[in-house]
Chains A and B, each alone.
Chain A
């Protein structure tokens, strides 16, 4: 068994095992952590296939952003997952039935699957043939040349999403005390400290 095959079975085995743990684990925090483990192993599988860009994106986006967001939600909201799963037994028959139907359909589709040999040449033309260039470099090259229009438009869409979120939710609340760093730094001892004589048995008004 070659090293690549060994790593494949390692990554694939851990990915399946941890994916199983995601849905069976009683503790939601452990579920999310197993989800992260699944992502990392899937990223390993991508590296084995030579798709290192996809692997890094998977780690950065799914582990770095999505899974951490899940973790925040799980920790901040008091969701009782045991209670959510209560209907499991009750809905098991109908769920199993739907699952079985999908499985049969899937088998039927895959069973009659033929790929037109002409089909494979058309979409895979220009990108696959460059020697000695990693796919990250290749993506970078086409992203900022051939597809610069899509890239910029996608940027504008994200800008609209940001403006929209601010317009619809940001409110100016009066009476909120905010930190003003320049004022803090400009404070001198004279402004902050006042020395007064305290007459005996009378005190002073502050």
Chain B
């Protein structure tokens, strides 16, 4: 019998995930022993863990390192996306505290599920083979199904959780089927292995595999035609959970999509480019037209997130370094805009009741001028009006598309963003020109922090764009 050498894999690249995993196990034990009274301290503990992991991620070197038998890769791209994911999760915990306390569902499991979900998302951003990708995705999704139904005595919340679970399981199945086809036709699951096995020639089996993988990831990004769950799940889930779904998992899904297509299929661009172009056009169009009739701000944000994924995918369709840089910049700015908008939405509370329709915003500029200004900035930015950050996000992806000879795609993008501007600007009109209502309660510190930071990014991005743009540039460079 040959002696097998026990070689411990290098653990420094997975340090942020390890910190979160070990920390969350500690928090579970603490919560289980202290019972429901521990909700407050587990929240603080989870926030500290996420911030700690954020600093560890940022301090990692950007050089490309693989570990754990080649299934885990750390490079500048994963660094940036993980930092965004961690910021999204940390912001969710800040946003959720007060809401859950007032709804009397402040249980200690919520921050724990958020942290576990974050581990899954970070694995998705760092996956270097199909198995790690699937496991990360499943960890993220399973935690997301549970927190969608977290308000378990609320019919809409449980419906959202069930709907998300059933459709999510279906999409996981499609992704797995595609992965099995890719594995069957290349003989390997690792992305570098797939690249060398494909060697520029892809048979019909690979094409089928790519189509199914694309369907699976499109569902997770809520891109058309796999978007049907999004409005219902966003509307039914508790509002902080909606804020979470629209922020961190979106980052992870886009990171995963870029990883799969650029990491595993870089030489067969012609096959998947047409899928991505179609998905991008369909998402942008549906996102802008379907949102027009919405009265509920949560549904509106759901359609807005569908549309925004479409814009981000323009950069991926370009399949170039500039394109991916555009995707990363777009996601950074989208994160700030989304979290800011949800911070405002969560502060619309009067007498223990939440308000979440467009009409509830009327006259907000006179009762809460600062809040109205921040939301107006988010909406102008989402509409893509310069000099706010949203304009630059769109600018970089459109520029990359034009460079890659996808002029038609860029033109459709511009047209749909004009249509989208209608409903974003309608919110501004309601806030500034309609009759004011009774004032809402004052914001909690958590909401203030999130709103302040995201407004700063959105409003001041054009003054100092270089740190974010150069980080995104380095991220894109590490993939090519």
Q: Which residues of A contact B (CB under 8 A)?
A: 119, 122-123, 130, 132-133, 141, 145-150, 152-154, 156-157, 159-161, 163-164, 166-168
The complex places the Cα of A167 from the Cα of B142 at a distance, in Å, of 13
- Would A164 and B143 be within 8 Å (CB), given that A147-B69, A149-B69 are in contact? yes
Selected contact of A164 from candidates B4, B68, B119, B145, CB within 8 Å: B145
User: Which chain B residue shows the least CB distance to A123?
Assistant: B187
The complex places the Cα of A154 from the Cα of B137 at a distance, in Å, of 11
Q: 26 interchain pairs (CB within 8 A)?
A: A122-B188, A130-B2, A132-B1, A141-B4, A145-B4, A146-B69, A149-B9, A150-B71, A150-B135, A152-B21, A153-B135, A153-B136, A153-B139, A156-B21, A159-B28, A159-B116, A160-B116, A160-B142, A160-B146, A163-B28, A163-B112, A163-B116, A164-B143, A167-B109, A168-B149, A168-B152
Q: B132 and A150: CB pair below 8 A?
A: yes
The complex places the Cα of A132 from the Cα of B68 at a distance, in Å, of 27
The complex places the Cα of A156 from the Cα of B121 at a distance, in Å, of 13
Query: Which residues from chain A contact B69 at a C-beta distance below 8 Å?
Result: 146-147, 149
Is B72 close to A, CB under 8 A? yes
Q: B139 and A160: CB pair below 8 A?
A: yes
Query: Which residues from chain A contact B197 at a C-beta distance below 8 Å?
Result: 122
Is B113 close to A, CB under 8 A? yes
Q: Quick one: which of A141, A153, A161 has the most chain B CB within 10 A?
A: A153
Is B464 close to A, CB under 8 A? no
Is B7 close to A, CB under 8 A? yes
Query: Which residues from chain B contact A154 at a C-beta distance below 8 Å?
Result: 135
Is B259 close to A, CB under 8 A? no
CB distance from B119 to the nearest CB of A (A): 7
User: Which chain A residue shows the least CB distance to B138?
Assistant: A157
Query: Which residues from chain B contact A168 at a C-beta distance below 8 Å?
Result: 146, 149, 152, 161
The complex places the Cα of A203 from the Cα of B274 at a distance, in Å, of 94
Query: Contact residue range for chain B?
Result: 35 or more
State the 7 A-B residue pairs at the shortest beta-carbon distance, nearest first: A122-B187, A164-B146, A149-B68, A153-B135, A146-B69, A167-B109, A160-B142
- What 20 additional pairs, Cβ within 8 angstroms, besides A145-B4, A163-B146? A132-B1, A147-B69, A148-B68, A149-B68, A150-B132, A153-B123, A154-B135, A156-B116, A157-B135, A159-B28, A160-B113, A163-B109, A163-B112, A163-B116, A164-B142, A167-B107, A167-B113, A167-B152, A168-B146, A168-B149
Query: Which residues from chain A contact B136 at a C-beta distance below 8 Å?
Result: 153
Q: B109 and A166: CB pair below 8 A?
A: yes
Scan B141-163; emit 1 where CB is below 8 A from any A CB, else 0: 01101100110100000000100
Q: B1 and A161: CB pair below 8 A?
A: no
Is B131 close to A, CB under 8 A? yes
CB distance from A155 to the nearest CB of B (A): 10
Q: B131 and A150: CB pair below 8 A?
A: yes
Q: Quick one: which of A145, A150, A156 has the most chain B CB within 10 A?
A: A156
**Those of B58-116 within 8 Å (CB) of chain A:** 68-69, 71-72, 107, 109, 112-113, 116
The complex places the Cα of A123 from the Cα of B143 at a distance, in Å, of 33
The complex places the Cα of A68 from the Cα of B159 at a distance, in Å, of 31
Query: Which residues from chain B contact A149 at a C-beta distance below 8 Å?
Result: 9, 68-69, 71-72, 132
The complex places the Cα of A132 from the Cα of B1 at a distance, in Å, of 7
Q: A119 and B109: CB pair below 8 A?
A: no
The complex places the Cα of A123 from the Cα of B152 at a distance, in Å, of 46
Query: Which residues from chain B contact A130 at a C-beta distance below 8 Å?
Result: 2
Query: Which residues from chain A contact B112 at a C-beta distance below 8 Å?
Result: 163
Query: Which residues from chain A contact B119 at a C-beta distance below 8 Å?
Result: 156
Query: Which residues from chain A contact B145 at a C-beta distance below 8 Å?
Result: 164
Selected contact of A160 from candidates B72, B143, B188, CB within 8 Å: B143
Q: B187 and A163: CB pair below 8 A?
A: no
CB distance from B131 to the nearest CB of A (A): 6
User: Which chain B residue shows the least CB distance to A166?
Assistant: B109
Q: Quick one: which of B113, B123, B139 has the most chain A CB within 10 A?
A: B139
The complex places the Cα of A164 from the Cα of B117 at a distance, in Å, of 12
CB distance from B136 to the nearest CB of A (A): 7
Query: Which residues from chain A contact B463 at a C-beta distance below 8 Å?
Result: none
Is B438 close to A, CB under 8 A? no
The complex places the Cα of A112 from the Cα of B370 at a distance, in Å, of 71
Query: Which residues from chain B contact A161 at a C-beta distance below 8 Å?
Result: 142
Scan B448-459; emit 1 where CB is below 8 A from any A CB, else 0: 000000000000
Is B6 close to A, CB under 8 A? yes
Selected contact of B139 from candidates A123, A146, A148, A157, CB within 8 Å: A157
Q: A153 and B132: CB pair below 8 A?
A: yes
CB distance from A21 to the nearest CB of B (A): 31
User: Which chain A residue shows the least CB distance to B135?
Assistant: A153
The complex places the Cα of A145 from the Cα of B188 at a distance, in Å, of 19
CB distance from A109 to the nearest CB of B (A): 13
Q: Quick one: which of A130, A146, A154, A167 has the most chain B CB within 10 A?
A: A167
CB distance from A3 to the nearest CB of B (A): 28
**Those of B144-192 within 8 Å (CB) of chain A:** 145-146, 149-150, 152, 161, 187-188
User: Which chain B residue shows the least CB distance to A149?
Assistant: B68
Scan B229-266; emit 1 where CB is below 8 A from any A CB, else 0: 00000000000000000000000000000000000000
Q: Quick one: which of A119, A154, A161, A164 has the most chain B CB within 10 A?
A: A164
